[in-house]
Amino acid sequence: MEGAYLIGARRVTGGKAFRGLDAATGAELAGDFPVTTAEDLETACRLADAAFDTYRETAPAARAAFLEAIAEALEARREAIVERCMAESGLPAVRLNGELGRTTGQLRMFAQVVREGDWADVVIDKALPQREPLPRPDLRARRIAVGPVAVFGASNFPLAFSVAGGDTASALAAGCPVVVKAHQAHPGTSLLAGEAIQEAVAKCGLPEGVFSLVYGPGNEIGTALVRHPAIRAVGFTGSRGGGTALMAAAAARPEPIPVYAEMSSVNPVILMPGALAANAEGLAKGYVASLSLFAGQFCTNPGMVFALAGSDVDGFEAAAAEAMGNVAPQVMLTSGILSAYEGGSAKLAGAGSVTEVAQGQPSGERTAGARLFATDAASLMADPALSHEVFGPSSLVVRCADMAELTAAIADMEGQLTATIHAVESDHASLAPLMPLLERKAGRILFNGWPTGVEVCRSMVHGGPFPATSDPRTTSVGAMAIERFLRPVCYQAVPDTLLPAPLKEANPLGLPRRAFD
Amino acid sequence: MEGAYLIGARRVTGGKAFRGLDAATGAELAGDFPVTTAEDLETACRLADAAFDTYRETAPAARAAFLEAIAEALEARREAIVERCMAESGLPAVRLNGELGRTTGQLRMFAQVVREGDWADVVIDKALPQREPLPRPDLRARRIAVGPVAVFGASNFPLAFSVAGGDTASALAAGCPVVVKAHQAHPGTSLLAGEAIQEAVAKCGLPEGVFSLVYGPGNEIGTALVRHPAIRAVGFTGSRGGGTALMAAAAARPEPIPVYAEMSSVNPVILMPGALAANAEGLAKGYVASLSLFAGQFCTNPGMVFALAGSDVDGFEAAAAEAMGNVAPQVMLTSGILSAYEGGSAKLAGAGSVTEVAQGQPSGERTAGARLFATDAASLMADPALSHEVFGPSSLVVRCADMAELTAAIADMEGQLTATIHAVESDHASLAPLMPLLERKAGRILFNGWPTGVEVCRSMVHGGPFPATSDPRTTSVGAMAIERFLRPVCYQAVPDTLLPAPLKEANPLGLPRRAFD
């Protein structure tokens, strides 16, 4: 593999370079990946800006075909992508094949969304020339793309949330050119996905600036990208520290821009007494499987479980401890993530009010072992550090005296991506008062399942109040993600010849419209 | 009139107080208006938070009836409101009667929008139990209110953008309790409008915390309000300095919140050669009428006009100068606004590259005279200060060498609320390349009219890129304003009994839904 970055149609090699690392061994992988120069970053942003007016006005059918061409180009590279990604991420083939399917499915869903045209939100207020005291002019609105978007690759979804992932797909669907800053942990995977997009851009005859891919260690290139005046919005999935740094950089620009950062969530799970009485063991097995899935490296990992003292929480904990004994140690995405996991879980283990319930099978030098902790609600509320996210295969069982204390502990939490409830019918009555609180706290409320496994569909909300995300009005998964990259424009008494196609009287694009007299 | 502020159902008098001033004379008006104490501000926010879960789940019909009850209560106070407001704002009765009609019309439009139910954006992905490799659970989403909202009264729309104005109406329509910080310049008008809302809250049997009205000089109370943890979004119309200060305060909270600030715009107007040839004199009259309307105290005041040298811009300027001679001096909203206008227009007059074309009739000690300036595009691009908003009855004519220079000058501008074009058919061809640029720059593009006069309707966008607003994805006028105060929540496999009414299978509220297989 020859390392390179992509500036529009150009492939740049040579210069100061770095190498990808094998997540399992730390060994260097093939390919010298050049660090993007300031000049090339400037060119990428200038090309994106130059492509913007053309690309944003492509007909829905053309934009949809482009998204589908990316999906096809990714599939054509499936073997190479999965192989390289296994090495760079330490994730197994089954997961990465599934993730590639999710990535192409996501692109095809957005193709469908673009074709349907609701995103353009065309609204027409007809002229009322006879109205008293003043006539009303013809007024019509549509939504247009916000401008070039910077997307940051995510460590934990090297395909579905990186170069050709959800942020890129939704920004391209909205009509925004994209400049991706590759995650430093998977340069080869990023290049392969980037080449697929570059190929689709050429195949569809789009301006080259629709897509560029840049690399650079540390924050320098990323910060320069967010500060560039051509960039009008940012998509990011990663740590709270990284996300809040981007939020600050974006807010400090002469012209502030929105940052859509998906950051930090412990995803509380509530085990109701009836559910525990019915199936403590099954719940415990499901819990351990969810928290340890792919080393727990999910934004929606169930990091905290609440149950009432006096319910069958003891049986649940015992069964979970037993299940933990079967959890093999796993390679984590990077050595940095591994050491953060070790530090975070050691801090939990060392907290006076926390007991360690169980560990998974012993970890080796470069793998993470699963860990299960327990505490009580009063201790949790007394020590905010206990509810910080520990990214990896660990979780904390919280015993509550009663529903009132459980409710208080939930009320005390920060914003979350998800809130999960396990309940049977006899539990429902006592849950009714809790539902409004969960709505305030989380973007998704789910019953009798586990929060890992985020469906890509029309109604999905992978979002939530800060610090789960930087903007609770949005989602980074599902069809609604396109709305992040659109803004409304109103046209008053504009002659039909000068109206954009979506608003022309004859509706040549056949978009859905709402009209008001 | 007895001064007071309103904390929920309570009316608070006494304590440290201030008085409203007659805008025309500077004399103190009746009523000692107490400065809201920190304790009462805390109570207002706590009450708003306590009211939130009940208020946000009121049925659309109930919420609509509440908005209509506010409109009725305002109308019942019409005479008192207009009389007091004339004194506090210096605006004439005809304008304030119109503005009250706009305010009640706005509330009634949102009542209709709430009833229609599109705001809830109900989307259902049906369960697919047979899907391979994994079944899909039932997933459904709706949008819910973001939480209590802080609204800041605007100096220049004491009714339509203040206590019961557009921000309050759209936040209440979304299901958000509102705490209004009254504008210091019209405490009596604010109290009368606040009493109307307080009366409607009681009449409709809503929790008292749905509305409070607080007062305080300087930034102290306002900043404390924006920092309060119960407040989840902010609506503001005012100066760039005020808006950016609120943006900074909101971003610096432990949990940042969105600020919808409508701030600063010079609203470029482009006079095309064909339009000037056809009717230079008529355009000049319309221009002067628009820029001097109610002392030019509009966000959409036409602060800058572009025309090509060699077109009939000389005739236009001469006719505008003549029309200026008939513009009487006018009382401005406050002495602070008057002195800012005097400073800003003096700075323009003193700029070496600017000539003063004409003045209106001479101003008195407490009134503003209209002023008309001219420069050329090269000078404008060389000196960014020339394109700063001068709030009041002044405007600047910019001569451009050709369409290329005109385009460059527009490209050089910051974000705008509006961009206006006067054109006849022969101008259209040369305008086509300009349209995409105007879409990037402004929230509303209008032809053959003047930007003052913002229609309250479904398609209106009173928004635009920074610094026109803090968030170009939104509007502060028109039906789409409700979207600022909503966020999506997804419900996965939630039992029907625990689903909120908008999502129950039987659709008891009869809301529009989109369902996907």
A230 within domain boundaries = yes
Best CA proximity match to A216, nearest among A179, A244, A245: A179
B415 touches chain A (CB under 8 A): yes
Give the mean pLDDT of A502-511: 98
Q: Among A13-17, A508-512, B111-115, B458-462, which is the least confidently predicted range?
A: A13-17
Report the pLDDT value the prediction gives residue A154, as an integer from 0 to 100: 96
pLDDT at A430: 96
Cβ of A247 under 8 Å from any chain B Cβ? Answer: yes
**B136–A457: do the CB atoms touch at under 8 Å?**
yes
| Per-residue pLDDT tens digits for A260-304 | 999 999 999 999 999 999 999 999 999 999 999 999 999 999 999
Nearest CA in chain B to A495: B447
* C-beta atoms of B436 and A497 within 8 A: no
B95: enclosing H helix or E strand = helix B93-116
Closest to A377 measured CA to CA, from A307, A436, A438: A307
Question: Active site residue: B45, B299, B400, B414, which one?
Answer: B299
**Is the residue at A466 inside a domain?**
no
Q: Is B247 on the interface with A (CB under 8 A)?
A: yes
Q: What is the mean pLDDT of residues A492-517?
A: 97
The answer to whether residue A126 neighbours chain B at the CB level (below 8 Å) is no
- B473 at A interface, C-beta within 8 A: yes
Catalytic residue among B99, B195, B262, B389: B262
Q: Does B97 share its domain with B212?
A: yes
The nearest alpha carbon in chain B to A490 belongs to B444
Q: Do A455 and B141 touch (CB under 8 A)?
A: no
Q: Which residues of B312-344 are buried (b: 16+ CB within 10 A; e: fewer)?
A: bbeebbbbbbebbeebebbbbbbeebbebbbeb
| Rounded Cα–Cα distance for residues A188 and A86 (Å) | 11
Cβ contacts (< 8 Å) between A481 and chain B: which residues?
none
Compare CB distances from B490 to A435, A449, A460 and report the shortest one's residue: A460
* pLDDT-based confidence at residue A484 (cuts at 50, 70, 90): very high
A80 and A220 in a single domain? The answer is: yes
Residue B248 and residue B186 share a domain: yes
Where a domain ends, among A447, A463, A489? A447
Q: Which of B134, B448, B479 sits opposite A493 (nearest CB)?
A: B448
**Could you tell me if B67 and B162 lie in one domain?**
yes
B206 and B151 together in one domain: yes
At A28-50, the pLDDT tens digits run 999 999 999 999 999 999 999 99
- Give the tokens for residue A402: 């009663």
Q: How far is B357 from chain A (nearest CA, A)?
A: 30
Query: Are the beta carbons of B137 and A446 separated by less than 8 Å?
Result: yes
Q: Do A500 and B414 touch (CB under 8 A)?
A: no
Per-residue confidence at A202, pLDDT binned at 50, 70, 90? very high
Using a CB-CB cut-off of 8 Å, the residues of chain B touching A445 are: 489-492, 494
Average pLDDT of chain A is 97
- Whether residues A259 and A273 share a domain: the answer is no
Per-residue pLDDT of chain B (517 residues; tens, 9 = 90+): 999 999 999 999 998 999 999 999 999 999 999 999 999 999 999 999 999 999 999 999 999 999 999 999 999 999 999 999 999 999 999 999 999 999 999 999 999 999 999 999 999 999 999 998 899 999 999 999 999 999 999 999 999 999 999 999 999 999 999 999 999 999 999 999 999 999 999 999 999 999 999 999 889 999 999 999 999 999 999 999 999 999 999 999 999 999 999 999 999 999 999 999 999 999 999 999 999 999 999 999 999 999 999 899 999 999 999 999 999 999 999 999 999 999 999 999 999 999 999 999 999 888 999 999 999 999 999 999 999 999 999 999 999 999 999 999 999 999 999 999 999 999 999 999 999 999 999 999 999 999 998 999 999 999 999 999 999 999 999 999 999 999 999 999 999 999 999 999 999 999 999 999 8
B-chain CB neighbours of A442 within 8 Å are 489
Domain contains B174: yes
List strand residue ranges (DSSP E) for B134-277, in order: 139-145, 149-152, 178-181, 211-214, 233-237, 259-262, 268-271
A positions 256-315 inside 8 Å of B (CB)? 256, 258
| B25 in any annotated domain | no
Give φ, ψ of B76 to 5 degrees.
-65, -25
Find all residues with CB under 8 Å of B105, minimum gap 6, and list them. Answer: B456
Read off the pLDDT band of A383 (50, 70, 90).
Answer: very high
Residues in A closer than 8 angstroms to B144, CB to CB, are 439
Residue B121 lies in a domain: no
Residues of A involved in catalysis: 262, 299
The secondary structure of B436-470 as a DSSP string is HHHHHHEEEEEESS-S-S---SSS-----TTTTBS
Q: Given an 8 Å threshold on Cβ–Cβ distance, is B488 in contact with A445? A: no
pLDDT in tens, A212-236: 999 998 899 999 999 999 999 999 9
Interchain contact, A125 vs B247, CB within 8 Å: no
Of chain A, the percentage scoring pLDDT greater than 90 comes to 97
- Residue B262 annotated among the catalytic residues of the structure: yes
Judged by CB atoms closer than 8 Å, whether chains meet at A251 and B251 is answered as yes
Structural domains counted in chain B? 2
Instruction: With respect to residue B131, please indicate whether it lies within any of the assigned structural domains.
Output: no
Q: Which of B139, B466, B473 sits opposite A455 (nearest CB)?
A: B139
Instruction: HSE, CB side, 13 Å, CA atoms: give it for residue A42.
Output: 3
When CB atoms are compared, the residue of A458, A487, A498 closest to B472 is A487
Would you call B493 and A123 a contact, using CB atoms and an 8 Å cutoff?
A: no
CB contact under 8 A, A455 and B53: no
Answer yes or no: B2 catalytic: no
Same-domain status, A229 and A374: no
CB–CB of A124 and B459 under 8 A?
A: yes
Q: Is A369 on the interface with B (CB under 8 A)?
A: no
- Which CATH number belongs to the domain containing residue A324 in this structure? 3.40.309.10
By the CB < 8 Å criterion, does A460 face chain B?
yes
Together in a domain, A419 and A481: no
- Is B458 in Cβ contact with A255 (below 8 Å)? no
Contacts of B459 in chain A (CB under 8 A): 123-125, 139-141, 490, 516
Note whether B414 and B325 are same-domain residues.
yes
Query: How far is B345 from chain A, CA to nearest CA, in Å?
Result: 25
* Chain B: closest CA distance from residue A360 (Å): 27
- Average pLDDT estimate for A355-372: 94
Give the CATH number of the domain where residue B40 resides. 3.40.605.10
**Residue A486 touches partner B, C-beta closer than 8 Å:** yes
Chain segment A444-458, per-residue pLDDT in tens: 999 999 999 899 999
Q: Decide: A182 and A73 in contact? Cβ < 8 Å.
A: no
Residue B505 forms part of a structural domain: no
- Assess whether A145 and A237 both reside in one domain: yes
Q: Which residues of B367-405 are buried (b: 16+ CB within 10 A; e: fewer)?
A: bbbbbbbbbbbbebbeeeebbbbbbbbbbbbbbbeebeb
Complex ipTM value: 0.97
Closest CA to B23 of B343, B297, B324: B297
CA of B480 to nearest chain A CA: how many angstroms apart? 9
pLDDT at A52 over 90: yes
A497 and A417 within one domain: no
Look up residue B273 and give its two tokens.
């050669």
Answer whether B445 sits within 8 Å of A492, measured CB to CB.
yes
CB contact under 8 A, B124 and A459: yes
Please report the sign of the dihedral spanned by the C-alpha atoms of residue B6, residue B11, residue B13, residue B19. Answer: positive
Rounded to whole angstroms, the Cα distance separating B37 from B214 reads 9
Residue B458 near chain A (CB below 8 Å): yes
Residues of the domain holding B355? 268-447
Sheet with A355-359: list strands edge to edge.
A355-359, A371-376, A394-400, A304-308, A268-271, A416-422, A442-447, B486-492, B139-145, B122-125, B513-516
Residue A207: the pLDDT is 98
- Identify all chain B residues contacting A140, using CB atoms and an 8 Å cutoff: 459
pLDDT of residue A397: 98
**B199-210 burial, b if ≥16 CB within 10 A, otherwise e?**
bbbeebebbbbb
CA B156 to CA B298: how far, in whole Å?
7
Q: Are B137 and A455 in contact (CB under 8 A)?
A: yes
Interface A:B, Cβ pairs < 8 A = 205
Say whether both A307 and A345 belong to one domain. yes
Residue A481: inside a domain, yes or no?
A: yes
Domain end: A431, A447, A463, which one?
A447
Q: Can you give the pLDDT at residue B377?
A: 98
Contact yes or no for A489 and B444 at CB 8 A: yes
Buried b (16+ CB within 10 A) or exposed e, A305-328: bbbbeebbbeebbbbbbebbeebe
